Structure 1
Amino acid sequence: MGSKREKAKPMRMRKIILVICEGETEESYVNLLKNWYKLPIRIVSHVAGTRVSPSFVEKRTNELKISREDNVQAYLMYDMDVEAINKKVRSCKADLLLSNPCFELWLLLHAKDQRSAISTDDTIKALRNSNPVWQRYAKSAFTDKQKVFLIEYTSIAVDRAMHLAEFDNPSSGIYKLIRNLENEHR
């Protein structure tokens, strides 16, 4: 006679997304993503600044693994306006979410299709002029109106970023993280 006990569901590995970023603005954005997507994924942001290195990424990844089955996907969210950091970031074992020249280009892509090369200062000026919600843009803090704008225009920014050549000025790889989260959300 067979057992009448229900079969246990197979164990699923935990999915953890580690986003190592350059600064507080990027970390604030990652925290917004955590709130918006509410996935059974643990998204951990860690501001590393210039301390990023292959051993730093490996150490942070290993810290998040509780069991052998845990799946940690590491991303690096950095600006490309500092050449020394570019070399360090590219040597790391992680998916690159690089923005050239800066993170604010990703924000600008929500409002404007930026196709020509642009400096960091001009990116911030263009962002502030792109839509009234960005007029008082301050790094590391998003207003409620800016948050609504970002979520509303994310798909447009993803499409615009996908049509830019990776690592060229302008470009932003942040769309790769968004697409990953969208796939998990389905």
Structure 2
Amino acid sequence: MMGRERRQHPKPLKRRVAFREPRKTLTVFCEGQRTEPEYLEALKRDPEVRDVAAVDIRVETRNKGSLPLALVRMAIDARERALREEGEVDEFWCVFDVEWPKNHPGLQEALTLARENDIKLAVSNPCFELWLALHFKDHRSFLNNDQARRLRRSHDGQLDKGLAGSVYMARKQEAAQRASALEKLHARNGMDFPNDNPSSGMHLLIATVTAQPRTAG
């Protein structure tokens, strides 16, 4: 019919589909019999991490006199094997301590090897207990191992080497902020490794396993 208007049909609404990148996969080599592995296991299970990263934890307790160097060499071997076999591990990490008053032997060699072979490091100075203490309060004074352990116990009341994972996971981002601030402070003061006491590179690992994948749609 002349003059009759054509009816406009609305376009169908397209459902927006979210796109999520695959989770990152990390293999983490660490020292310690309880504290470090228990913390990393709690991190692996944490909901903020679980959807972002798949974390494989490997603990090395042998060769205590040269643990950092041994851990880095193990990570290099694992990375080379993954490359040969076209494995899907995105990053290889080593978690270890400096130790005071007597530093671990082979520290500088361990750092150099890691850098040359794309192994990521999360080094705590003097020890992992400093990283744990940072979950509760900032600390900027030099510590030896015993002082760091007492400081940690003063915050969480733990008398043995274990830890309550849920308590620490709730505070991990605060600890990461404090550790990052310490890193910047040492850089301003020209305090290079291993004289950057107190410090912890664990904030770098936290940033990696909690960075949210991009979404689109």
Calculate the TM-score normalised by the size of structure 1.
Answer: 0.78
User: Which one scores higher on RCO, CA 8 angstroms, separation ≥ 6?
Assistant: 2
User: CA offset at residue 55 of structure 1?
Assistant: 3.9
Q: Does 1:119 align with 2:144?
A: yes
1:3 — aligned with what?
none
User: CA offset at residue 184 of structure 1?
Assistant: 3.6
State the AA in 2 paired with 1:35: R
Q: Does 1:57 align with 2:75?
A: yes
Q: How does 1:137-148 map to 2 (within 5 A)?
A: 137-139=159-161, 141-142=162-163, 146-148=164-166
CA separation in 2, counterparts of 1:13 and 1:136? 37
User: After alignment, is 21-30 or 68-77 more displaced?
Assistant: 68-77
1:87 — aligned with what?
108
Q: Does 1:31 align with 2:47?
A: no
State the AA in 1 paired with 2:151: A
CA contact (8 A) 1:18 1:45 kept: yes
2:56 — aligned with what?
44
User: CA offset at residue 113 of structure 1?
Assistant: 0.5
CA contact (8 A) 1:97 1:172 kept: yes
User: CA offset at residue 115 of structure 1?
Assistant: 0.4
CA separation in 2, counterparts of 1:151 and 1:157? 10
Residues 109 and 185 of structure 1: is their aligned pair in 2 closer, same or farther, counting only changes over 3 Å? farther
CA separation in 2, counterparts of 1:53 and 1:27? 14
Cα deviations across residues 105-160 of structure 1 (Å, max 9, x unaligned)?
A: 01000112110111110011111112xxx223421x22xxx323212211111110
User: After alignment, is 40-49 or 71-80 more displaced?
Assistant: 40-49
CA contact (8 A) 1:77 1:98 kept: yes
Which of 24, 31, 35 is 1:22 aligned to?
31
State the AA in 2 paired with 1:159: Q
User: CA offset at residue 28 of structure 1?
Assistant: 1.4
Which of 147, 153, 166 is 1:128 aligned to?
153
CA separation in 2, counterparts of 1:65 and 1:14? 18
Q: How many residues align?
A: 168
Secondary structure of the structure 2 residue equivalent to 1:43:
strand
Structure 1, unaligned stretches of length 5 or more?
Answer: 1-11
CA separation in 2, counterparts of 1:74 and 1:151? 22
- Runs of 4+ in structure 1 deviating by more than 6 angstroms, as ranges, are none
1:172 — aligned with what?
200
User: After alignment, is 19-28 or 46-55 more displaced?
Assistant: 46-55
Secondary structure of the structure 1 residue equivalent to 2:36:
helix
CA separation in 2, counterparts of 1:86 and 1:52? 10
CA contact (8 A) 2:135 2:168 kept: yes
Percent sequence identity over aligned pairs: 27
Calculate the TM-score normalised by the size of structure 2.
Answer: 0.68
State the AA in 1 paired with 2:128: F
CA contact (8 A) 1:13 1:71 kept: no
CA contact (8 A) 2:29 2:71 kept: no
Which of 154, 158, 174 is 2:176 aligned to?
158
